[in-house]
Structure 1
Amino acid sequence: MPTTRVITWEVAGSRGLETAWVEFGEDFLKGRGRAVGTVPEPYWISYELDTADGFVTRRLRVTAESAAGVRTLDLRHDGAGRWTANGAHLPDVDGALDCDLGRCPLTNTMPVLRHGLHGAPGEASFLMAWVSVPDLAVLPSRQTYTRLEQGGIRFVSGDFRSDITFDDDGFVVDYPGLATRLGD
């Protein structure tokens, strides 16, 4: 039986807020969210995220609005490792299993759930289809998640590092420098 949650984060990384409406089960996640931020410029985004079995991203649709206008992204994974953005092939992210929407704590959930890192020791490294906000450019991003002895998960990408706290369902509670969940 799927579980539903509504989660709101204060997003320090954008000096804004995000709310996600999430439905999830043993091996899938669907979410839709809205965010407003002021860094690097004032913007609004809305997104829809759909995963296949094993929490593998199937599709991420994003609309971003800023002073530069409205941009849209339809990012798709074909299940065999091939990615497209608005129909154009993205060979630099082929092989990635997940998207990572910039400044969006929800998209840290899929790799954590897939590998059970929110509840057990382990480490996993990934290639991600990282989406820059608010311009919606898609770039490759190498990321490593390591379960820490005292709980939490260390996230490393390039020179960036943060120790993230997740709840028992695998959702971000505190991501220092990026986001903190409000209420419950």
Structure 2
Amino acid sequence: MSGPRRLARTWEVFPGSGYSTAWVDLGQGALTARGHAVGRDPEPYWLTYALETSDGYVTSRLHVTVETAATTRALDLRHASGRWTVDGAHRPDLDGALDCDLGLCPMTNTMPVLRHGLHRQPGTGPHHFLMAWVSVPDLAVEANRQTYTHLGRAEHGTRVRYESGDFRADIAFDDDGLVLDYPSLAASLPSVRPGVRGGHAP
């Protein structure tokens, strides 16, 4: 049986005037990822995270550290048997959620898409989710309701409509379920092979 596939993606992130990179081990029904991000809005910050999921791409743990000029913050978000804790304290408002959603991080849009196969085929209709949403750079955690709806194939992947409150965006995902283009938030940058300068083959 083959092991997980290792993927890497870098996105330009527009609201934070920065970039986010994720290294992903994508297995059958589960994934792990680690990432780094840098942003300048509302203040310059550096962020690192580690994400783990259980079967069904259900979040089991998200650990995040943010460093600014004045302080370093850390968050330990955990989920087991339907129960969520934030830095060890039970958060009943999050119970029932399956996913985390790290602000300004395109990586965390992947789990619900993979779970329901929205990057490959249409579902039976809109899928409604309760998310453990983490704002950046302050790392506050809130319960957030979101809807994902398969729209159809695009030139290089599949488009899925994302809705939360009054916000709506039609996101393009690749065949691995990773974000290609998230209007107003992020866009995937072309991969560069190791040893190749400037993106051109020797």
TM-score with structure 2 setting the length = 0.88
Percent identity between matched residues is 63
Deviations 1:144-174 (A, max 9, x none): 0000035400000001100000000100000
Give the Cα separation in 2 of the matches to 1:112 and 1:68. Answer: 37
Letter in 1 for 2:72: V
1:72-83 to structure 2, matched below 5 A, reads 72-78=74-80, 80-83=81-84
1:1-150 to structure 2, matched below 5 A, reads 1-78=3-80, 80-122=81-123, 123-150=126-153
Letter in 1 for 2:96: G
Give the Cα separation in 2 of the matches to 1:14 and 1:92. Answer: 28
Which structure 1 residue ranges, 4+ long, deviate > 6 Å from structure 2? none
Higher relative contact order (CA 8 A, sep 6+): 1
Letter in 2 for 1:89: H
Q: 2:78 is paired with a residue of what secondary structure? A: strand
Give the Cα separation in 1 of the matches to 2:27 and 2:110. Answer: 13
RMSD: 0.9
Give the Cα separation in 2 of the matches to 1:68 and 1:118. Answer: 41
Number of residue equivalences: 183
Structure number with bigger Rg: 2
Give the Cα separation in 2 of the matches to 1:32 and 1:13. Answer: 21
Q: 1:19 is paired with a residue of what secondary structure? A: strand
Letter in 1 for 2:39: G
Q: Following TM superposition, by how much is the alpha carbon of 1:42 offset from its aligned partner in structure 2, in angstroms?
A: 1.1
Give the Cα separation in 2 of the matches to 1:39 and 1:125. Answer: 30
Give the Cα separation in 2 of the matches to 1:88 and 1:163. Answer: 35
Gaps of at least 5 residues in structure 1 are: none
Give the Cα separation in 2 of the matches to 1:66 and 1:181. Answer: 25
TM-score with structure 1 setting the length = 0.97
Q: Residue 175 of structure 1 corresponds to which residue in structure 2? A: 182
